[in-house]
Structure 1
Amino acid sequence: MNKKIAIISNVSGSLVSFRGELIKKWLDLGYEVYTLAPEYKSNHREKLSNWGAKAEKYDLNRSGMNPFKDLKSLINLANKIKEINPDYIFAYTIKPVVFSSLISKQIDLKGMYSLIPGLGYAFNGGGLKNKIVNKIAVLLYNISLKNNDKVFFQNPDDLNLFVDLNLIDQEKTVLVNGSGVDTEEYYNTEPQAEKISFLLMARLLKSKGIIEYIKAAEIMKNKYSEVEFKILGSPGNGPDAVDMDYVDQAAKKDIIDYPGRVNDVKSYIAQSSVYVLPSYYREGTPRSILEALSMGKPIITTDNPGCRETVVDGKNGFMIPIKDYKILADKMEYFIKNKEAIIEMGKESRILAEEKYDVHKVNQKIIENMDL
Structure 2
Amino acid sequence: MKIFIIGAYPRSLINFRGQLISLLVGFGWHVTSLSSGANVEEIKSIKNLGSDYIDYKVKRNGLNPFNDINTLISFFCILKRNSPDVILAYTIKPIIWGGIAARLLKHNNFNALITGLGYAFQSGGFFKNILVFIVVNLYRIALKNAKSVIFQNHDNMNLFIDKGIVDKSKCYVVNGSGVDLKHFKLTSLTKEPNFLLIARLLGDKGIREYVKAAKLIKGKYPNALFELVGPEDPSIDGITIDRVNKWTDSGYIQYKGSSNDVRPFIKKCNIFVLPSYHEGMPRTVLEAMAMGRPILTTDVPGCRETVMNGENGWLVEKANFEQLAERMIWFIENQDQWKVMGQKSYSIANEKFDVHKVNAEILKIMGISNEKTF
Category of TM-score, reference length = shorter chain = over 0.9
Contact between 1:61 and 1:70, CA under 8 Å: does it hold in 2?
A: yes
Aligned: 1:263 with 2:255: no
- Per-residue CA deviations over 1:316-336 (Å, capped at 9, x if unaligned) read 000001111111111111111
Which residue does 1:154 correspond to in 2? 152
The offset of 1:98, in angstroms, is 1.5
* SS in structure 2 at match of 1:147: coil
The offset of 1:245, in angstroms, is 4.5
Q: Which runs of 5+ in 2 are unaligned?
A: 369-374
Between the two proteins, what is the percent identity of the paired residues?
41
Using the size of structure 1 for normalisation, the TM-score is 0.95
Which residue does 1:356 correspond to in 2? 352
Contact between 2:79 and 2:102, CA under 8 Å: does it hold in 1?
A: no
* SS in structure 2 at match of 1:91: strand
Q: Which runs of 5+ in 1 are unaligned?
A: none
The offset of 1:5, in angstroms, is 0.2
Correspondent of 2:226 among 212, 224, 229: 229
* SS in structure 2 at match of 1:284: coil
2:213 and 2:276 map into 1 onto residues whose CA distance is 14
Which residue does 2:216 correspond to in 1? 219
Contact between 2:62 and 2:235, CA under 8 Å: does it hold in 1?
A: no
Cα 1:110–1:87 change in 2 (3 A) is farther
Correspondent of 1:198 among 176, 195, 199: 195
- What aligned pairs does 1:166-205 form with structure 2 within 5 A after superposition? 166-192=164-190, 194-205=191-202
* SS in structure 2 at match of 1:7: strand
1:243 and 1:59 map into 2 onto residues whose CA distance is 25
Paired residues, what number? Answer: 368
1:201 and 1:119 map into 2 onto residues whose CA distance is 19
Which residue does 2:161 correspond to in 1? 163
- What aligned pairs does 1:317-336 form with structure 2 within 5 A after superposition? 317-336=313-332
* SS in structure 1 at match of 2:256: strand
- Per-residue CA deviations over 1:95-144 (Å, capped at 9, x if unaligned) read 21122222223436462101111010111222333212111111111112
AA in 2 matched with 1:226:
N
- Per-residue CA deviations over 1:284-334 (Å, capped at 9, x if unaligned) read 111111111111100000011111111000000000011111111111111
1:108 and 1:26 map into 2 onto residues whose CA distance is 24
Which residue does 1:346 correspond to in 2? 342
Which residue does 2:309 correspond to in 1? 313
- Per-residue CA deviations over 1:134-171 (Å, capped at 9, x if unaligned) read 11111111112121110000111110000001111111
Contact between 2:273 and 2:297, CA under 8 Å: does it hold in 1?
A: yes
- Per-residue CA deviations over 1:170-191 (Å, capped at 9, x if unaligned) read 1110101111110110111122
Cα 1:357–1:119 change in 2 (3 A) is same
Which residue does 1:98 correspond to in 2? 96
Using the size of structure 2 for normalisation, the TM-score is 0.95
AA in 1 matched with 2:199:
A
Which residue does 2:129 correspond to in 1? 131
2:172 and 2:314 map into 1 onto residues whose CA distance is 27
Aligned: 1:33 with 2:31: yes
Correspondent of 2:361 among 352, 356, 365: 365
